[in-house]
Structure 1
């Protein structure tokens, strides 16, 4: 099970990839369709990571073990309303 630091490192890596994709598209090094497909996957993975961190915080706040948090499928976390 990943700890909070591991999850935050993954988030940082995904944000860096997101920036790189946008830069490559702007520079003409990537097609819009390729950028869109990968960007969508990156954004879904980011949402899953943030969801996992929120679950861990909620469990911790409730006096429970944060390692009981579960990574939820993208189809679940993408369906949340902000």
Structure 2
């Protein structure tokens, strides 16, 4: 499979994009976030939780001989506050 079409690389790329946005938002606001920025930070955290969860699901499925493409994004409430 070509790296550019590898779903895991796509997920890792999304994680990198979200982390960069989160960092930029924190640096730009010098820790004085507006209500809109705080809301965006919460959204970024939820999306990151979902991405990490999806990546873990894919890797676990592959490890146990299952189809990693059968993994799916779970609702934010189900994966919130996962620890890496």
TM interval, short-chain normalised = 0.7 to 0.9
CA deviations over 1:11-30 (Å, ceiling 9, x no partner):
000000001110121187xx
Asked if 1:73 corresponds to 2:75, the answer is: yes
- Runs of 4+, deviation exceeding 3 Å: 79-82
CA 1:78–1:27: 2 relative to 1, 3 Å:
closer
Whether the aligned pair in 1 keeps the contact of 2:50 and 2:73 (CA below 8 Å) is: yes
Structure 1 unaligned spans of 5+:
none
Equivalent in the alignment of 1:10: 14
Equivalent-residue separation in structure 2 for 1:79 and 1:21 (angstroms): 20
- The corresponding residue for 1:44 is 46
What TM-score do the two structures reach when normalised by structure 2? 0.83
Quickly say closer, same or farther: Cα 1:77–1:6, change in 2 above 3 A.
same
Q: Which runs of no fewer than 5 residues in structure 2 stay unpaired?
A: 1-5
Per-residue deviation, 1:35 = 1.8
What is the count of residue pairs matched by the alignment?
A: 79
Whole-angstrom distance in 1 between the partners of 2:20 and 2:56: 21
Deviation at 1:34, TM superposition (A): 1.9
